[in-house]
């Protein structure tokens, strides 16, 4: 038995911060989620899998475009002609509404409803497989629905499809032990864009998204080809991302000029289809005119005109600590950091902002507070450079 496990296709992702790119490159980036999905379905045909699981957020928005719907219909029809079934759920981005779709998918497609239910099928090697799941009908689900998944009953292999986060109160929260108690053979998860294997026996797997959508979604993206033979489950990661986001640091000195920076950055842009976020360390050493050139985005614009394999996405200037200030004021800074930078205070700054799904998700990231502290230190170091 073979199947593909993918999630978070996010068709029609708008991509932000690309307005300075050429119109051609902007168009290619916006098309990249479609190209990644094409590879997913092409691999399904090439590997002659039994079925494809799509674990939520197939569309980037619940108001999905006709283009995205027709694209999926066309791809699903190719799978239908090859006898490959598709089992899919909707997630928090594309949660199901009564008027959700204006087109109908082929008969090989099963879309799970609001409550956990099960579909069974027989694979080419004669295994009876049970696949259980549910779709979001609203953006947030606070209930742990794992307990409502059907019990394993008379199948050779049981799969659970779930779009959720571990302990995430807004997105069908669950604990790993909740999944283990069900006695399933494989949990096909979606929602988290980082590829993770939470457990191996049984397999509890996040494949991540199929195309990175911003500078924080680094590393190649893709999906899993899952093979089951003699009761053993094997995973093979297949890359589908057209563009890969990467981060790099560049240390500078007082001798660096605009010319030397261009030369150094060009050397970093040596990988095809890589979108690079660059942090310039020790920016306090740069001449004021060089800093102005960077802050005005002139350096970025100049690099975009040069023939490089990779693409420069952003430049960040990092002003490292002034040794004199660090010696004198470290004690007071430590005290101020503990008193002034508080996560609850940040949440209370503007209740309207915190009510935004995107902003709340960002604030709840583990490294958010660390990032805020870093930005604050950077601003202080920049202000007092040379004093």
DSSP code at position 219? S
Preceding amide of 142 cis, omega within 30: no
* Residue range 213-231, pLDDT digits in tens: 999 999 999 999 999 998 8
Non-local (6+) Cβ contacts of 88 within 8 A are: 53, 54, 55, 56, 58, 109, 110, 111, 112
For the cut 60, the answer to whether the pLDDT of residue 387 exceeds it is no
Question: If you average pLDDT over each of 122-126, 305-309, 348-352, 367-371, which comes out highest?
Answer: 122-126
* Residue range 11-66, pLDDT digits in tens: 999 888 888 788 898 999 999 999 999 999 999 999 999 999 999 999 998 888 89
**Residue ranges of domains in the chain, CATH in brackets:** 2-239 (3.60.21.10), 244-386 (no CATH)
**What local confidence, expressed as pLDDT, does residue 340 receive?**
65
List the structure tokens of 304. Answer: 């975009």
User: Percentage of residues in the chain with pLDDT exceeding 70?
Assistant: 81
How many Å is the maximal CA-CA distance in the chain? 76
Decide if 3 contacts 185 (C-beta within 8 A).
no
Quote the pTM value: 0.83
* Residue range 317-373, pLDDT digits in tens: 999 865 555 555 666 666 666 666 666 666 666 555 555 655 666 566 656 666 666
Partners of 312 in the beta sheet? 276
**What local confidence, expressed as pLDDT, does residue 103 receive?**
85
For the cut 80, the answer to whether the pLDDT of residue 99 exceeds it is no
* Residue range 128-178, pLDDT digits in tens: 999 999 999 998 999 999 999 999 999 999 999 999 999 888 899 999 999
Decide if 233 contacts 197 (C-beta within 8 A).
no
Give how far the C-alpha of residue 107 lies from the chain's centroid of Cα atoms, to the nearest Å: 30
| d(C-alpha 242, C-alpha 43), whole Å | 15
**What local confidence, expressed as pLDDT, does residue 18 receive?**
86
Decide if 89 contacts 141 (C-beta within 8 A).
no
Non-local (6+) Cβ contacts of 195 within 8 A are: 206, 207, 208, 219, 221, 222, 237
């Amino acid at each position: 038995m073979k199947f593909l496990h993918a999630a978070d296709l996010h068709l029609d992702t708008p991509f932000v911060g690309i307005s300075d790119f050429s119109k051609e490159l902007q168009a290619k980036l916006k098309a990249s989620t479609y190209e990644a999905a094409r590879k997913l379905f092409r691999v399904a045909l090439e590997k002659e899998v039994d079925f494809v699981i799509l674990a939520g957020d197939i569309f980037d928005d619940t108001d999905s475009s006709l283009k995205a719907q027709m694209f999926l219909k066309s791809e699903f029809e190719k799978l239908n002609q090859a006898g490959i079934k598709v089992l899919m759920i909707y997630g928090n981005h594309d949660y199901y509404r009564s008027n959700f779709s204006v087109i109908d998918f082929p008969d090989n497609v099963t879309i799970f409803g609001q409550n956990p239910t099960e579909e069974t099928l027989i694979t080419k090697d004669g295994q009876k497989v049970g696949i259980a799941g549910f779709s979001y009908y609203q953006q947030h689900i606070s209930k742990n629905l794992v307990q409502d998944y059907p019990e394993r009953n008379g199948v050779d292999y049981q799969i659970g499809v779930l779009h959720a986060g571990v302990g995430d109160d807004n997105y069908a929260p669950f604990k790993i032990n909740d999944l283990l108690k069900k006695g399933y053979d494989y949990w096909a998860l979606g929602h988290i864009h980082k590829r993770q294997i939470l457990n191996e026996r049984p397999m509890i797997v996040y494949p991540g998204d199929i195309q990175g959508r911003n500078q924080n979604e680094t590393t190649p993206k893709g999906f899993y080809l899952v093979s089951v033979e003699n009761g053993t489950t094997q995973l093979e990661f297949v890359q589908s991302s057209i563009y890969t986001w990467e981060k790099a640091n560049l240390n500078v000195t007082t001798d660096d000029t605009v010319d030397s920076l261009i030369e150094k950055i060009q050397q970093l842009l040596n990988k095809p289809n890589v979108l690079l976020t660059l942090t310039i360390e020790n920016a306090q050493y740069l001449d004021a005119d060089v800093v102005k050139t960077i802050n005005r985005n002139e350096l970025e614009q100049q690099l975009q005109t040069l023939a490089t394999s990779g693409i420069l996405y952003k430049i960040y200037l990092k002003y490292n600590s002034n040794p004199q200030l660090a010696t004198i004021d470290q004690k007071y800074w430590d005290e101020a950091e503990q008193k002034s930078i508080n996560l609850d205070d940040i949440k209370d700054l503007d209740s309207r902002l915190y009510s935004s799904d995107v902003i709340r998700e960002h604030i709840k990231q583990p490294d958010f507070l660390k990032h805020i502290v870093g930005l604050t230190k950077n601003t202080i170091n920049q202000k007092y450079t040379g004093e």
